[in-house]
Amino acid sequence: MRIEKVIEELGFKPNEAKVYVAALALGECHISDIAAKVNLPRSSAQAIVDKLHKVGLMNFYVRRRYKYWVAENPERILADFVRKEEKIRGALPALLALRKAGHSRTQHGTGRSMDAGPFHILADTSLQPILITNRNAEIEYVNAAWEDQFGYSLNDIRGQNPRILKSGKTPAGVHERMWKALTAGKLFQSDAVVDRRKDGTCFNLLTTVFPVRYGSAVYYIQILDDITDGKKAGQVRQDFIRTAAGGKAS
């Protein structure tokens, strides 16, 4: 890689990099020497040198009424980046806290949560209604298909228990069997669950619920599907499992 290119990647323009490198090679020199070296008009070279002087990469002295320019030690560039890095590191905790707070509230300004580990991304790519809770059965995420199916927005139900969706029409014992399976780390699937929409109407879809461990966190994923085709739910479940494995799930 050309040395000028390295200087450019540090935030300088091509001609600024050329002028600085030329000045390093020339040592003490007049502006006309620099202009000739980089094949630029003297006025253009002077403007660049003045800018480099402002950022501390060029300096000058006057001898016998002539101004001599000298390129400063390149280590000044590194020292400047070290100072900037220290400032950024000092501000990093506050910046990360702001990011966490913002992401917990919205995703791209749509009111969609950024909780639920990496799984909200998978949920958003699915056409099936998907609900995600944490280990305390608090709703952390639902995708757009779920919102369409139930009539609730994520902001309506975030942090609540999915029992708010109970219709009272699900046969006795179904939910008990579900939690027994989930507690044992197993998948639960049933076509007997009857859920209730926000408007009070009820519906019946194939319900698939399974636990996924991502690092030290545990999530419960619920997928709703057409009762006649449970294969789609199985495919989505495999995607969640692969994602958890990518996160070194235990």
> For residue 58, what are the β-bridge partners?
71
Q: Domain locations in the chain?
A: 3-72, 119-246
- Report the percent of the chain where pLDDT is more than 90: 49
Confidence category of residue 55, pLDDT binned at 50, 70, 90: confident
The whole-number pLDDT of residue 32 equals 93
Residue 115 has pLDDT above 70, yes or no: no
CATH code of 3-72, in short, is 1.10.10.10
pLDDT, tens digit (0-9, with 9 covering 90-100), for 152-210: 999 899 999 999 999 999 998 999 999 999 999 999 999 899 999 999 999 988 999 99
CA distance 46 to 146: 64
Confidence at 230, pLDDT banded by 50, 70, 90: low
Other CB atoms within a 10 A radius of the CB of residue 120 amount to 20
Across residues 140-162, what is the average pLDDT? 92
What rounded mean pLDDT belongs to the chain? 83
Q: How far apart are CA 110 and CA 210, in angstroms?
A: 27
**Is the Cα dihedral 108, 111, 117, 121 positive or negative?**
negative
Cα–Cα dist 113/120, whole Å: 8
Chain-centroid distance of CA 54 in Å reads: 36
Among the ranges given (38-47, 110-119, 140-149, 178-187), the one the predictor scored with the smallest mean pLDDT: 110-119
Question: In terms of CATH, what superfamily is 119-246?
Answer: PAS domain (3.30.450.20)
Give counts: helices (H), strands (E), the chain: 10, 9
Residue with tokens 């009820």: 202
